[in-house]
Amino acid sequence: MKFIVSLSRFFFVLVIWTCGYLFWIQRLMLAFWGFNPMSSLHWQYLLREWRGGWVIRTPKEWLFVIVLFTAVPIWLTGWAVLSAVPWSRWLKLILLFPVRLIRSKIKEKHTAKPKVTKRKSYKQTRPPAVRAGSGRIKSPEKAPEEKEEHKHAHAPAQQAVEQPRAHSESKPSSAPAHSSSAPAKSGGSGGSIMEILRSAGYRLISDAKIAGKKIDFVAVAANHILLCLIDSESGDWLADEERFNDEEPLWFSESNHRISPVRIVLNARDALAPMLTGDARGMEIKPMVVIRQGTIINAEDMFEVWNGLNVAVCRHEDGGPDEITALPAAVSQVKSPDDGLFHSVSSVLG
């Protein structure tokens, strides 16, 4: 298919170049020598003069002969040069120039505003349950049947032995039970994020740090890994996934801006892929951003961009707008990984 496209492009350039070349070479020769290369009568006259012993004397006649003999090589050379030009790339640059100009003006307008309040970092704006973590990767979670055995254990000594193995599952949260900002609490869109991922069949590693950024959940399935980043920034946001002046893409609000969470989770995906070893080597990594509080005001314009980046953007609890797919609908049932695969992933993150 690629060969057919290249061949079609090659002959398309040939037709356009030939028409333009013949038009201008005809105008040139008529203007200087009164010779029409498109007329058979002029060629017959030239042939008769040549057979009759035409002698080339003046510089103008010499120039005519040179142009006549170099017309075909110039035509072939021009065809070869024009065929090597990346026309689609230039056409894209020309057509998208107004869009890029408008976007740059919007960015300049937002960045030129004075910043009154200090912008909070990602660590400060994380939900309490995520911020309360020590920053270390929690131990691999136990299988459901193992958790049930641990829950009904009655010997204190046995609990003391089993507690280090199930630390990531049995350690109580330091946040109050009624806190509505913790990711593990149930929301108005079908349960907590953790519960939704677990019910779909994933085994979870929480608070993982990849490429210097915290990823809330690394969800492991039998055939892929889901990187789930929770975006808890409130307010209305204008999303943009294009680099500007070699800077990371930014999302803008009325008085603030921040690095795109989509770019953060994509960087984490690219950093995690070469780290995987053992059973996890070569597994597909799917990035996901969950809008938990804010509203993406240009979401409909960004769907095609996010699809092109192969990242899933969904909403949960107060996230919006409604056009964005809700988290329960975005997560499909998967086959749970075996212990060997899960430990291969958790050992890399640990």
What is the domain partition of the chain in residue ranges? 2-85, 187-350
Residue listed under structure tokens 């980043």: 229
Distance CA 233, CA 113 (A): 20
182-195 average pLDDT score = 59
Give the whole-angstrom CA distance, residue 165 versus residue 140: 8
Pairing of strands 312-315, 284-291: parallel
Q: What is residue 261's predicted lDDT score, i.e. its pLDDT?
A: 93
This prediction's pTM: 0.48
Report yes or no: 316 and 189 within 8 Å, Cβ to Cβ: yes
Q: State the pLDDT at residue 37.
A: 85
Q: pLDDT of 52-76, one tens digit each?
A: 888 888 888 888 888 888 888 888 8
Instruction: Please name the residue that has the structure tokens 């005001």.
Output: 297
Q: In whole numbers, what is the pLDDT of the chain averaged over residues?
A: 77
- Which of 2-11, 159-168, 301-310, 323-332 shows the lowest per-residue confidence on average (mean pLDDT)? 159-168
Q: Residues 267-303, buried b or exposed e (16+ Cβ, 10 A)?
A: bbbeebeeebeeebeebebbbbbbbbbbbbbbbeebe
Scan for tokens 């030939």, then name that residue: 18
Cα separation, 293 vs 231, whole angstroms? 7
Between strands 213-220 and 203-210, the pairing is antiparallel
Per-residue pLDDT averaged across 314-338, rounded?
Answer: 93
Amino acid residing at 289: V
Residue range 243-302, pLDDT digits in tens:
877 788 999 988 888 999 999 999 999 999 999 988 888 999 999 999 998 999 999 999
**Do 332 and 270 form a contact (C-beta atoms < 8 A)?**
no
Q: Residue 39 pLDDT more than 90? A: no
Q: Is the pLDDT of residue 221 over 50?
A: yes
Taking alpha carbons only, the member of 229, 259, 109 closest to residue 251 is: 259
